[in-house]
């Protein structure tokens, strides 16, 4: 496997924060790397059979390395959706990444892409944790931020908002 990029996926729900670090790699098989990126990232040409010309442009595979939520760090019930929970969870994730030696590749640093999805109080906690001095090693390697929040246009009527 040749690791080409790390992803930090952040999903912000109303009552929780999910952080997942994945590793994107090229498997060593009959795959030919394309020089031009078709859709904002590295692409590959997959030759299924040597006798039959079945070619696909595919994205590289990803494997999950670390996955944490606010509950992993001891926050329970309504506290999981708060600013402090998201901040502590992000700092805890950075410590786990340092334990796994994912931030110490000085010779060939692998870039990180941060994908954010959703809106909540935890989003600001996550962004504040990235601006903290503890996360300087990670921020130096981030080369791309992707906003992946789905925006609703039309469609069916939403549920009634729950008010406590």
In a domain, 157, yes or no: no
Q: Which two tokens stand for residue 87?
A: 């901040």
Domain membership of residue 8 as a residue range: 2-25+61-147
Do residues 146 and 114 make contact, with C-beta atoms less than 8 angstroms apart? yes
Going by their DSSP bridges, the two strands 112-117 and 31-33 should be labelled as: unpaired
Q: What is the per-residue pLDDT across 90-118, written as a single tens digit (0 to 9) for each?
A: 999 999 999 999 988 776 789 999 999 99
In a domain, 6, yes or no: yes
Degrees to nearest 5, angle at CA 25 with 22 and 29: 150
Count of domains for the chain: 1
Going by their DSSP bridges, the two strands 142-147 and 112-117 should be labelled as: parallel
Q: Which two tokens stand for residue 116?
A: 């954010």
In a domain, 17, yes or no: yes
Q: What is the per-residue pLDDT across 106-153, written as a single tens digit (0 to 9) for each?
A: 767 899 999 999 999 999 999 999 999 999 999 999 999 999 999 888
Judged by DSSP in three states, 71 sits in: helix
Q: What CATH number is attached to the domain comprising 126?
A: 3.30.420.80
pLDDT of residue 38: 47
In a domain, 46, yes or no: no
In a domain, 48, yes or no: no
Overall pTM surpassing 0.85 (yes/no): no
N- to C-terminal Cα separation, the chain: 51
């Amino acid at each position: 496997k040749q690791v080409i990029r790390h992803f930090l996926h952040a999903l912000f729900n109303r009552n929780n924060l999910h952080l997942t670090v994945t590793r994107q790699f090229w498997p060593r098989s009959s795959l030919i790397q394309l020089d031009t990126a078709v859709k904002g990232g590295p692409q590959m040409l997959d030759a299924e059979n040597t006798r039959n010309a079945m070619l696909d442009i595919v994205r590289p595979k990803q494997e999950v390395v670390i996955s944490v939520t606010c509950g992993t760090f001891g926050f329970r019930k309504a506290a999981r959706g708060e600013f402090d929970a998201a901040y502590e969870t992000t700092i805890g994730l950075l410590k786990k990444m340092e334990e796994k030696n994912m931030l110490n590749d000085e010779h060939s640093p692998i870039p990180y892409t941060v994908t954010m999805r959703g809106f909540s109080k935890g989003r600001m906690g996550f962004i504040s944790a990235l601006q903290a001095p503890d996360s300087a090693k990670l921020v130096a390697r981030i080369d791309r931020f992707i906003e992946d929040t789905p925006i609703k246009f039309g469609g069916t009527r939403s549920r009634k908002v729950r008010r406590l």
